[in-house]
A and B are shown apart, each in its own frame.
Chain A
Amino acid sequence: MSTTTAGGGPVTTEAEAAAAEQLRSAVARQFGRSLHIRTLDTGSCAACEQEIRMLAAPHYDLHRLGLFFTPAPRHADLLLVTGPMLRAFAAAARKTYEAMPGPKLVVATGACALGGVYQPDAFSYGSADQVLPVDVWIPGCPPSPLALLHGLLVAVGRLADKVSGLSFVAGASS
Chain B
Amino acid sequence: MPLWFVRGLRRGVVTTRYPDRSEMSARDLPTPPAFRPGALTGEIADGLVAICPSRALTREGGTLIFDVGACTACGRCGEYAPGAVTASGEFELAAARRSGLVKRIGLGAEVTR
- Interface residue ranges, A against B (CB under 8 Å): 10, 12, 14, 17, 20-21, 24, 58-61, 64, 111, 114-117, 119, 129, 134-141, 143-144, 146-147, 149-151, 153-155, 159, 161-164, 166-172
Contact = CB atoms under 8 A, between A and B. Distances in A.
Interface of A, helix, strand, loop or mixed by DSSP: loop
A106 to B, nearest CB: 12
B34 A168 contact: yes
* Max count, chain B CB within 10 A of own CB: residue among A21, A135, A167: A167
Interface string B92-113: 1111111111010100000000
A163 B101 contact: yes
Interface in B7-66: 14-16, 18-19, 23, 25-26, 29, 32-37, 54-56, 66
B67 A163 contact: no
A70 B21 CA distance: 27
B17 to A, nearest CB: 10
Contacts of B85: 170
Contact of B69 (A12, A20, A115, A154): A115
B96 A149 contact: no
Contacts of A129: 98
Contacts of A149: 18-19
A119 B25 CA distance: 32
B79 interface: no
Contacts of B92: 146-147, 150, 159, 162-163
Interface centre among A146, A153, A162 (most CB of B within 10 A): A146
B66 A159 contact: no
B15 A58 contact: yes
Given A61-B15, A116-B69, A164-B95, A146 B26 contact: yes
Given A147-B93, A149-B19, A168-B105, A115 B100 contact: no
Contacts of B32: 139, 168
Contact of A161 (B33, B34, B72, B100): B100
Contacts of A146: 16, 18, 23, 25-26, 29, 91-92
Contact of A117 (B25, B54, B66): B54
Contacts of A172: 34
B91 A144 contact: yes
A21 B18 CA distance: 24
A164 B69 CA distance: 11
A170 B35 contact: yes
